[in-house]
Amino acid sequence: MSDLTAPAAPAPAAPAAGPGRKDGSERWTQSLRDITGGSAMISILAVVFALVVGAILIAFTNERVQETAGYFFSRPADLLQAVWDAVAGAYSALFQGSIYNFRAQNFLTAIRPLTETLTFATPLIAAGLGVGLAFRVGMFNIGGRGQMLIAAGAAGYVAFAVELPAGIHLIVAILAGLLGGAIWGGIVGLLKARTGAHEVIVTIMLNFVALYLIQFLLRTPGALQAPGSNNPKTPPMLSTAVFPDLFGPRYNLHAGFLTVIAATIFVWWLLSRSNLGFQFRAVGQNPSAARVAGINVKNVYLYAMAISGALVGLAGINQVLGTVTTGFGSGIDAGIGFDAITVALLGRSKPWGIFAAGILFGAFKAGGFSMQAAEGVPIDIVVVVQALIVLFIAAPPLVRAMFHLPTPGTTRKPKISAVKASKSNEVVAK
Amino acid sequence: MSTIAESTAPVSAAIATTAQIRSWKIPITFGGFAVLSLILFVVLGRGQRGELSTFRLSEARDLIQLPEMALPTFATGVIIAIVLVLLAAASVWLVYRHRKIPIVLTILFALLFLVGFLAWAASGSTIPVPGLLIGTVTLSAPLIFGALGGVLSERAGVVNVAIEAQLLAGAFSSAVVASATGNPYIGLLAAMVAGALVSMVLAAFALKYLVDQVIVGVVLNVLVIGLTSFLYSQVLAPSANLNSPDVFPRLNIPLLSEIPIIGPVLFRQTIIVYIMYVAVAVVYFGLFRTKWGLRVRAVGEHPQAADTVGINVNRTRFVAVTLGGVISGFGGAYFTLGAVGAFNKEMTNGMGFIALAAVIFGQWHPIKATLAALLFGFATNLQNVLGIIGSPVPSEFMLMLPYVVTIFAVAGFVGRSRAPAADGKPYIK
């Protein structure tokens, strides 16, 4: 798992390695090759290609398209028109639900979808940071669901059952949630460090343990259940512990987004500026070498999983103190723990990469709901598109082969195909 | 996952040279369960007014009727708790004297604890033992297929996180094809093809495009969940005739099905379960008794060595991964053709991840992985059965039990499970 941090991204060889002197025009072609085959281009093409596949699926399953396909040879224009209507309708609804609503009366209403996107992105970024941090240490944290639930339970309990002055209450609730997530993640790190238990098994198992624990607490009066109610649901959070709205009550975006920005800066600082982060990365690259270098690998596993759990827990905190403040049930995690894995992969386990990936997926989520409402296209299509994007971004040689793009860092060699060239490049990179 | 393999090698070498290190894992685990049994069966003992716990050993339609076993709840609990404490003490003594704890002792300990727990839980009521075990085999079927597929793929050196995707693809295509053709056997074929297709994508990305295998696996899970859910909402939900396959009936095997206890459990199942028995045997035999299996294990452990003696590493891996997908996909048919009779969104419900846990818990060995999968199936069904007869503990804790036991088992007994050495690493010449 050592190369999880940069999945199959061939490090561009230094330009100086190019053969001999070049005149001006050659240098231009070379730059063009590097740009068109580079990683930004790959990302854009991956998104475009995923959207095209999504469009094909939308068109194929559209009833009007199927109808008009029946008499394609007598009136082909009907079919094309139906395909266009289905696809354009769906994607424009997706765009208007996630970024800018052209039909709105004024700018303040039109921009509302963008704030929705950021609201959806908030927990995705937090959980993505947690999963990504674990990846950097060479561990796979599939336990997002459990860590989110425990953190949500802890933060939620403090938020509705403890009375504190405004401000302090919010901070105490956040700390309680972070602690809950850190403990639930830390158990995994501790077991891995002390007994060698595989983190994949333990996180999966702890997901179920957390789910049933929260379900039990939710139907136990005096624990998480709302007093005087039979529903497995908590009472609403006290207003002193709720994240304030960032732009007033018209928008759902809350101050939780600021905590996520802070978390991103923290993870960036931790990984690239701190001593502990250096140890994390060393263990992630090669645990044996790290041990030989005097790093306490066992402690690294423990700390990394605890921090990872706390970050994923932040997603749970944001859910209960920001997004759903009227009381929550056991479905509060909303699958974010698993979405976070794809967010972390798309962000290549780098803090700001995850931030961007979280916003992209938040946009898909916000837009997906309005697409489902407006055009009747199931929101599941968004999941397909997201998966395809990650798949293509993870496989640059495939995208290059599909679009006949050059491999950056290589010069024109007509006999070697793009795939083979990138393979040999890969060997050099290793 | 390569981290495990790398970190174990020096540790085991250290143990081999000193050979005087005592491992207290098993005594600690035994001790924990012994204390738990003392608390549950003695301190919180049920049935102190002379209630009986009855174990029903035969079903009404059996030829040979075994008598029901009625045990006094409290006395049974006390006796079992004492025996468990003694066994734990014995394990401490054995470890102290540098002796190995025999596996029989562990099995005996687990069985006694189980009987004690069942007696405690069933105070004043009856536990249908055959029903408990029949459900175990049935519920384990998809897990076992998934785990076998995972074992095949990982033994060849390709990490298979996509078991969930293979099961779900198998479930979806078998439901659609069996409904469209009206023949569930063609549905089974379709399930295998769907599983193989998912595997081929995994293999292509992992072996040809050298994408990290965990990434491909996770993404494939998401992709297949999205695709099947989308197609379900758009195509299956509006027209019900594409989603109503015939469900396989239970087939009684003559004679064998009349053996007391074992007969109903093993030989009154659907054809999917019978094929599962064959699949376990075939995978075990294929991996450990044939030339092909030796090659598969070789490319999973040391691809360079395998390449040197003329084995085509990537082709061997591709075939093994695809076969793994065929088996996992077949398991997916259980959900639609063996149990529910219709496809639902995300109907595998995380079973693929439990199968993955069974692969690791079973140390990448087909038989051990099967046993691990059976344990999960048993725990799930135990909760169902106790839910019907009225369990003394809140149902959530019963539901939690299998997962807690797994964590203890992984931490206590299995410890560092060692993956095939080249698992997850693409081979580049």
Measured between beta carbons, the chain B residues lying within 8 angstroms of A286 are 6
ipTM above 0.90, yes or no: no
**pLDDT level of residue B14 (50, 70, 90 thresholds):** very low
B91, pLDDT greater than 80:
yes
pLDDT at residue number B413: 61
Domains, chain B, ordered by start: 2-124 (no CATH), 130-389 (1.10.3470)
pLDDT at residue number B424: 80
Crossing angle for the helix pair B291-301 and B129-155, to the nearest 10 degrees: 70
Element (H, E) at A144: helix A144-161
Percent of chain B with pLDDT over 90: 40
Taking the C-alpha atoms of residue B146 and residue B353, their distance in angstroms, rounded to an integer, is 9
Measured between beta carbons, the chain A residues lying within 8 angstroms of B218 are 341-342, 345
Q: Give the closest-approach CA distance of B121 to chain A in angstroms.
A: 19
pLDDT at residue number A416: 46
Measured between beta carbons, the chain A residues lying within 8 angstroms of B405 are none
Are A218 and A224 in contact by the 8 Å Cβ rule? The answer is yes
Q: Give the closest-approach CA distance of B25 to chain A in angstroms.
A: 9
CA separation, residue B15 to residues A175, A336, B26 (Å): 43, 43, 17
- Helix and strand numbers, DSSP H then E, in chain B: 16, 5
Highest mean pLDDT among B163-177, B242-256, B346-360: B163-177
Q: What is the mean pLDDT of chain B?
A: 85
Of residues B101 and B391, more confidently modeled = B101
pLDDT at residue number A412: 60
pLDDT at residue number B252: 87
Taking the C-alpha atoms of residue B270 and residue B330, their distance in angstroms, rounded to an integer, is 14
Q: Which of A1, A53, A291 to mutate to test the interface with B (most CBs of B within 10 A)?
A: A1
Measured between beta carbons, the chain B residues lying within 8 angstroms of A61 are 230-231, 234-235
DSSP annotation of A18 reads S
pLDDT at residue number A17: 41
Taking 50 as the pLDDT cut, the residues of chain A under it are 1-21, 414-430
Out of A140, A205, A380, the one facing B230 most closely (by C-beta) is: A380
**pLDDT level of residue B249 (50, 70, 90 thresholds):** confident
Q: Is A391 on the interface with B (CB under 8 A)?
A: yes
Q: Give the closest-approach CA distance of A66 to chain B in angstroms.
A: 12
Are B23 and B99 in contact by the 8 Å Cβ rule? The answer is no
pLDDT at residue number B316: 95
B2, pLDDT greater than 50:
no
Model confidence over B336-387: pLDDT tens digits?
Answer: 998 888 898 888 888 898 898 888 888 899 999 999 899 889 888 888 888 7
Model confidence over A106-143: pLDDT tens digits?
Answer: 888 888 899 999 999 999 999 999 999 999 999 989 89
* Strands of B5-155, DSSP E: 52-56, 69-72, 126-128
| Contacting A residues, span 154-213, partner chain B, CB-CB under 8 Å | 191, 194-198, 200-202, 204-206, 208-209, 212-213
Contact criterion met (CB < 8 Å) for A205 and B403: yes
Contact criterion met (CB < 8 Å) for B210 and A394: no
- Stretch B122-146: mean pLDDT, rounded? 89
